[in-house]
Amino acid sequence: MKQIAAVATLALLCGLASAQDKPKKTGAPSPEDSVKAMKVHEGLEATFWAGEPGLINPTSMDIDERGRIWCCESMNYRGSKMRPEGDRIVIMEDTDHDGKADSYKVFYQDKAIIGPLGITVIGNKVYLAQSPKMLVFTIDDSGDKPVGPPEVLFDGFTGVNHDHGLHSMMFGPDGRLYFNSGNDGANGARVMNGKGEPVIDSTGSEVGGKGTKWRGGPRGGAGQHYTNGMAFRCNPDGTGFETLGFNFRNNYEVCSDSFGTAWQSDNDDDGNQGVRINYVMEGGNFGYVGFYKDSSWGRDQGAYPGQSRQEAHFHQRDPGVVPNLLNTGGGSPTGILAYEGELPGLNGKLIHCDAGPNVVRIYTPTAAEAGYKCESVDLVKSSDRWFRPADVCVGLQGEIYIADWTDPGVGGHATGDKDPATISGRIYRIAPPGFKPDAPKLDLSTVKGQIDALLSPNLARRFLGYQKLVAGGADATKALEEVFKSGKTDQHRARALWLLARGADGQKVVKEALKDKSTDIRVAALRAARLIKMDMIEIAKELVADPSMAIARELCLALNYESTGKCLDLLVALGDRVQPQNSYEGVANKDWAQQEAKRQEAYVPKWYLEAFGIACTNREKEVLEAWQKNGKNKDPKVAEAIAWRLNRVIPEPPAPPPKKDK
């Protein structure tokens, strides 16, 4: 990584605690009135935790292992140049455990920091997402300021000072960092590493819409280049770069659960009620623009009579497009997380902010063959139109914190709160009534303490536990084996599995995990097998007839990285698992909930068809011919589906009527 040449301006604000006792008047409702306007999920309550003047316009936040909240602010977003000295990274802490921040410190401020969209704090590193760069700070021994200027992890993203640019990183259970970029950040990009070299992902493709290589060869036409928003993962040092998906619009943040399943939201073209939640099926095209000539959804909507605008918006009926998990209507989707804590009824759910309708939601994905269905309820719904949730994070005790941008409007890059004298920003806490904030002891000197950290609901602690245990010896292995055997939840078991897979007996552990009674654990085991570079051809031979469609899906995604000569027979066998596709007629419905339920049901068979199609990328013709010759499934509807997918049979929309002479 290279260092930025400019010397940073550092500031340390120690006197803000007293200012917080008497909050200044703002254009927004008072924090107390904002809390009163919130309707909170049963068994939980909202409380005000931090705000102006110590915190202004938070775009992203993270919570470190001490329970301190780090926010990147944006007073200089787009045309709102309200802070000439540059935007800031602020650290907040509740030192007396009374439920409110009483310490506000500026970690970093510089004129080069303009509208950052993502912050991640793990170990002694702070990752700051600000197109065109992903920056990395090293925290000094005080814990309150950087050692020096940031280093550059990645460069070359576009979307500078644009909310469709580069977004925050999030630690995953496999030890890697997950992040994404909206379409304005990726479309014009040719991403470089810190040495100025083009980033080549695990498929042999250059990353970004301007990349010149595709799967080891030159960039090609339709289906042979990346386009629009993209999702990624890599090691903390930037190596091992992988592209998870592409052709999103403005995918704001991506998270991973403990099984290694990636989830995110994606925004629509404003006003089309098409905001969506995605299960990010690895290697998938997610359909914002059309396959041929990157055509717009508006042009292509007429290709399928009767489809809803929301389907058309992301080319959902086209072959080669991964289905949406959930349509949520209109909005401005922002931060998301996979909750794995002990708040009542929330374990295993996704928690997601949508600033447009002033809501934070709970999503419940449930397995449906090779894909998912999903339902939604509100965690927090506010009647305060200034409540604009931008991010959500989990504290040390499993409590949830919401960063509130705080503005009378969103959309179109607009900022209505522009008066430097009254501008605001808030953080709220969601916890059970009577919650007593504390910082559970963190002892990384013992294996027990390391296991406790790994099992924490807080990602920063989880990272520290992971780092210690992955370098541990026999005692660490024994403790991890016990967690895998009898962990409290399958999420805990999966976290232990990822670490055991990296150990001396990793392949043996993974082989045993592939026989587990839990499908989630078996899916994680397949992903761990790929991570430690086990022989996926041999594993696929053993599992190709496994009754679980989720396992069949994962085999398809794994074979995407194998040579045709090694896996053609396996692809033929996996093609036999394809199911006839449903008719999508009648999905459109005036009742939103009914329309969405019918849409999810109609698309269930398409999840596996798309996984199979991903496995056949760049070899569609060869696989189709082999399957037609040697496939054992003689259902004509299956043959029709496979040919439709591999030939990318996409109808032309009707021609527009001729213009009338004046």
Residues 139, 142, 143, 149, Cα dihedral to 10° = -30
Let me know: does 89 contact 128? Beta carbons within 8 Å: yes
Pick from 292, 391, 371: which is nearest to 74 by CA?
Answer: 391
* Averaged pLDDT, 570-592: 87
3-state percent breakdown (helix, strand, coil) of the chain, nearest 5:
25, 25, 50
pLDDT of residue 300: 86
pLDDT of residue 19: 34
Task: Work out the pLDDT band at 13, boundaries 50, 70, 90.
Answer: very low
pLDDT of residue 22: 41
Q: How many helices (H) and strands (E) does the chain have?
A: 18, 30
pLDDT of residue 588: 62
C-alpha distances (whole Å) from 2 to each of 158, 182, 195 are 19, 25, 6
Let me know: does 138 contact 109? Beta carbons within 8 Å: no
pLDDT of residue 3: 45
pLDDT of residue 26: 58
Q: For residue 524, is pLDDT > 50?
A: yes
Let me know: does 567 contact 544? Beta carbons within 8 Å: no
pLDDT of residue 7: 32
Largest CA distance in the chain: 85
Q: Which of 150-154, 167-171, 220-224 is predicted with the least confidence, judged by mean pLDDT?
A: 220-224
pLDDT of residue 585: 72
**Domains along the chain with CATH numbers:** 2-215+223-286+322-431 (2.120.10.30), 535-651 (no CATH)
DSSP secondary structure string for all residues of 161-215: T-TTSB---EE-TTS-EEEEE-HHHHTT---EETTSPBPB-TTS-BSSTT--EET
C-alpha distances (whole Å) from 542 to each of 510, 515, 558, 627 are 14, 11, 14, 20
Task: Name the residue with tokens 């016990």.
Answer: 482
Please give the helix or strand (H or E) that residue 575 lies within, else none: helix 564-575
* Averaged pLDDT, 345-369: 98
Pick from 132, 129, 84: which is nearest to 111 by CA?
Answer: 84
pTM for the whole structure: 0.94
Query: In angstroms, rounded to a whole number, what is the distance separating the alpha carbons of residues 440 and 155?
Result: 38
Let me know: does 335 contact 253? Beta carbons within 8 Å: yes
Average confidence score pLDDT of the chain: 92
pLDDT of residue 481: 98
* Averaged pLDDT, 287-292: 90
Task: Name the residue with tokens 């995110």.
Answer: 264
Order across the sheet with 426-431: list the strands.
Answer: 45-51, 426-431, 400-404, 389-394
* Averaged pLDDT, 141-165: 92
Q: For residue 143, is pLDDT > 70?
A: yes
> Each residue of 265-287: pLDDT tens digit?
999 998 899 999 999 999 999 99
Let me know: does 82 contact 422? Beta carbons within 8 Å: no
Residue 492, amino acid: H
pLDDT of residue 657: 64
Let me know: does 486 contact 496? Beta carbons within 8 Å: no
For 473, the token pair is 């010896």
Query: In angstroms, rounded to a whole number, what is the distance separating the alpha carbons of residues 262 and 336?
Result: 11
Residues 460, 138, 201, 568, Cα dihedral to 10° = -40
* Averaged pLDDT, 561-583: 98
pLDDT of residue 343: 98
Let me know: does 404 contact 389? Beta carbons within 8 Å: yes
pLDDT of residue 584: 76
Q: For residue 505, is pLDDT > 80?
A: yes
β-pair partners for 366:
373
Q: For residue 15, is pLDDT > 50?
A: no
β-pair partners for 362:
351, 377
Q: For residue 2, is pLDDT > 50?
A: no
pLDDT of residue 265: 97
Let me know: does 483 contact 84? Beta carbons within 8 Å: no
* Averaged pLDDT, 182-210: 93
For 424, the token pair is 């605001």
What number of other Cβ atoms are within 10 A of residue 618's Cβ?
16
Instruction: Output 567 or 221, whichever has higher pLDDT.
Output: 567
> Each residue of 598-620: pLDDT tens digit?
999 999 999 999 999 999 999 99
Pick from 22, 41, 19: which is nearest to 379 by CA?
Answer: 41
Task: Work out the pLDDT band at 137, boundaries 50, 70, 90.
Answer: very high
pLDDT of residue 427: 99
Q: For residue 641, is pLDDT > 80?
A: yes
Pick from 136, 135, 173, 62: which is nearest to 427 by CA?
Answer: 62
* Averaged pLDDT, 569-585: 95
* Averaged pLDDT, 540-547: 98
Backbone angles phi, psi at 437, to 5 degrees: -65, 140
> Each residue of 464-484: pLDDT tens digit?
999 999 999 999 999 999 999
Let me know: does 178 contact 170? Beta carbons within 8 Å: yes
* Averaged pLDDT, 180-185: 91
β-pair partners for 19:
none
Best-predicted range by mean pLDDT among 214-228, 287-301, 320-334?
Answer: 320-334
Give percent of the chain with pLDDT exceeding 70: 93
C-alpha distances (whole Å) from 490 to each of 107, 337, 452, 495 are 37, 18, 16, 9
Give the gyration radius of the chain's Cα atoms: 24
pLDDT of residue 305: 84
Going 51 to 54 to 56 to 58, the CA torsion angle's sign is: negative
Let me know: does 71 contact 64? Beta carbons within 8 Å: no
pLDDT of residue 413: 61
Q: For residue 453, is pLDDT > 50?
A: yes
C-alpha distances (whole Å) from 96 to each of 99, 102, 142, 612 are 8, 8, 19, 55
* Averaged pLDDT, 186-197: 92
Instruction: Output 50 or 187, whichever has higher pLDDT.
Output: 50
Give percent of the chain with pLDDT exceeding 90: 81
